[in-house]
A = this chain, B = another copy of it.
């Protein structure tokens, strides 16, 4: 608690890069703030409660996440659309659980154009209600189904405790909204999009995730079932990184979204919704960054290679810069994107020729998480080599390596791919090592004492009461009931808290 409080106070200070990064062991929440500040990813808005400004380096990471996800949504048949930011206040009350869940967090527009509004508007906290209304206008028959739309948008939830990227009052996200003629088809969509999220997290963010189902008390307000991907941060806490909801007919009934069935009858549509947000940037940071700052998997890195020229005089400078530019131009022709993708992902190179000591430059780019650093001086030119250092020592490269220039250029894609794979491997090993099965309450209390967390696979008796008591006493929540293949095989046991019978273990952890 003390650590968290200090971090929040820090958030309020003007955050210029050039300060210290607190080691993770000393104060993990402070480390997180420091990494964000030093990598110039974002800063707290201060003048707008709980909001942040996403700075260029942070936004560029978000753009890479967006671009890849957007391709996956389109490849699975979804189309983007845009719905209004403002929602009539009465809409939010139409679905009973939804209003209960979201009412405390709403921002309300009461005046506009110099007049008091007859009915206030709320700023969308999520768009099930307004989209439900439009679905009711667009859907008449089974021929109009499935309807598969996605929206990239900002949303607002007036949260009390905020933390950059992880929980801010305004955040950027995508929200998919689909309507189907049968529950089975909607359920298949829920799982398809959960798989899209899971594959994306692992392949692009190099962040392994557990796929599972939320308990009733943790599911989305208005859903019949919420599925999720949960990632382990370096402090052992869980990050809910994406959710995919089976909305049943709840919003269909609330907004009267009926369709003529193929058999000629009338029925309410079955809906789903699913979303990920700028929170993912927080997930990248807390999965890969270290005490020296940000570490970026190449597939989310806005800059892949930084070249730092080394020289003593103007002659050397001219020669080294010419060679650096030649390397940059060759690398810039390498497209890292998969063959049929709709974007190109050319290797992005920065030549840092500022009037600073090389050591200062190394330090700065390290903090920004650039995967590959190249030093280039007169000796390297003479030998036709470059001095390469990867941001993190792994099987993809250790310490300073001296490599022939043409070989470095020819193998850049393999080098970056291997680094990507290594980061995933490291994160997977961490998840493996810090996950445990816990069977006694004493062991449970010890595992979660203080600020610590772990991924604990425990038996649970399936009741809301037990879940609430565990949370109250330890701040630990049930992250999910794992999907087949994403946790221990089902086996009978006794609830870690109540001792009552249980049919399978669930994932318990403290969470962001």
Q: Taking chain A's interface residues, is the majority helix, strand, or loop, or is none over half, making it mixed?
A: mixed
Q: CA of A112 to CA of B120 in the docked complex: distance in angstroms?
A: 12
Residues from chain B with a CB closer than 8 A to the CB of A43 are 137
Closest to A155 in B: B85
Q: CA of A59 to CA of B80 in the docked complex: distance in angstroms?
A: 7
Which residues of A in the span 126-178 have a Cβ within 8 Å of any Cβ on B? 130, 133-134, 137, 149, 153-154, 156, 158, 160, 169-170, 172
Asked whether A82 lies within 8 Å of B54 as measured between CB atoms, the reply is yes
Q: Mark A36-56, 1 if CB is under 8 A from B, else 0.
A: 000000010101110111111
Asked whether A344 lies within 8 Å of B342 as measured between CB atoms, the reply is yes
Asked whether A342 lies within 8 Å of B343 as measured between CB atoms, the reply is yes
* Contacts A85-B154, A88-B47 given; does A108 touch B110 at CB 8 Å: yes
Q: CA of A271 to CA of B107 in the docked complex: distance in angstroms?
A: 32
Q: CA of A14 to CA of B149 in the docked complex: distance in angstroms?
A: 20
Q: Mark A215-250, 1 if CB is under 8 A from B, else 0.
A: 000000000000000000000000000000000000
Does A346 reach chain B (CB closer than 8 Å)?
yes
Q: CA of A344 to CA of B71 in the docked complex: distance in angstroms?
A: 12
Does A351 reach chain B (CB closer than 8 Å)?
no
Tell which of B82, B87, B109, B343 touches A123, judged by Cβ atoms closer than 8 Å.
B109
Tell which of B59, B111, B170, B346 touches A85, judged by Cβ atoms closer than 8 Å.
B170
Shortest distance between the CB of A301 and any CB in chain B (Å):
15
Q: CA of A341 to CA of B52 in the docked complex: distance in angstroms?
A: 31
Asked whether B48 lies within 8 Å of A121 as measured between CB atoms, the reply is yes
Does A81 reach chain B (CB closer than 8 Å)?
yes
Does A450 reach chain B (CB closer than 8 Å)?
no
Q: CA of A343 to CA of B343 in the docked complex: distance in angstroms?
A: 4
Residues from chain B with a CB closer than 8 A to the CB of A326 are none
Q: Mark A421-439, 1 if CB is under 8 A from B, else 0.
A: 0000000000000000000
Shortest distance between the CB of A452 and any CB in chain B (Å):
31
Q: CA of A462 to CA of B314 in the docked complex: distance in angstroms?
A: 55
* Contacts A53-B81, A60-B80 given; does A48 touch B111 at CB 8 Å: no
Residues from chain B with a CB closer than 8 A to the CB of A112 are 49, 106-108, 158, 169
Which residues of A in the span 350-404 have a Cβ within 8 Å of any Cβ on B? none
Q: CA of A45 to CA of B130 in the docked complex: distance in angstroms?
A: 10
Asked whether B48 lies within 8 Å of A84 as measured between CB atoms, the reply is yes
Q: CA of A111 to CA of B107 in the docked complex: distance in angstroms?
A: 6
Q: Mark A59-90, 1 if CB is under 8 A from B, else 0.
A: 11011000000000000000111111111100
Closest to A341 in B: B344
Does A265 reach chain B (CB closer than 8 Å)?
no
Asked whether A51 lies within 8 Å of B84 as measured between CB atoms, the reply is yes
Residues from chain B with a CB closer than 8 A to the CB of A52 are 84
Shortest distance between the CB of A160 and any CB in chain B (Å):
7
Tell which of B86, B87, B106, B113 touches A160, judged by Cβ atoms closer than 8 Å.
B113
Could you say which of A47, A81, A82, A134 has the most chain B C-beta atoms within 10 Å of its C-beta?
Answer: A82
Q: CA of A3 to CA of B185 in the docked complex: distance in angstroms?
A: 46
Residues from chain B with a CB closer than 8 A to the CB of A172 are 82
Shortest distance between the CB of A70 and any CB in chain B (Å):
9
* Contacts A14-B137, A79-B56 given; does A105 touch B113 at CB 8 Å: yes
Q: CA of A114 to CA of B106 in the docked complex: distance in angstroms?
A: 7
Residues from chain B with a CB closer than 8 A to the CB of A56 are 79-81, 149
Does A502 reach chain B (CB closer than 8 Å)?
no
Does A104 reach chain B (CB closer than 8 Å)?
yes
Residues from chain B with a CB closer than 8 A to the CB of A405 are none
Asked whether B109 lies within 8 Å of A107 as measured between CB atoms, the reply is yes
Q: CA of A88 to CA of B56 in the docked complex: distance in angstroms?
A: 23
Shortest distance between the CB of A24 and any CB in chain B (Å):
27
Tell which of B47, B111, B149 touches A108, judged by Cβ atoms closer than 8 Å.
B111
Q: CA of A55 to CA of B114 in the docked complex: distance in angstroms?
A: 30
Closest to A45 in B: B84
Does A182 reach chain B (CB closer than 8 Å)?
no
Residues from chain B with a CB closer than 8 A to the CB of A103 are 114
Q: CA of A50 to CA of B103 in the docked complex: distance in angstroms?
A: 25
Closest to A147 in B: B56
* Contacts A53-B134, A60-B80, A81-B53 given; does A114 touch B104 at CB 8 Å: yes
Q: CA of A172 to CA of B84 in the docked complex: distance in angstroms?
A: 10
Asked whether B82 lies within 8 Å of A59 as measured between CB atoms, the reply is yes
Q: CA of A499 to CA of B343 in the docked complex: distance in angstroms?
A: 58
Tell which of B53, B63, B342, B344 touches A83, judged by Cβ atoms closer than 8 Å.
B53
Besides A51-B85, A59-B80, 6 other A-B contacts (C-beta < 8 A): A47-B133, A59-B81, A59-B82, A85-B85, A107-B111, A343-B343
What are 13 A-B pairs with beta-carbon distances under 8 A?
Answer: A47-B133, A48-B88, A51-B85, A53-B82, A53-B83, A54-B82, A56-B149, A59-B80, A63-B80, A84-B170, A106-B112, A107-B121, A153-B154
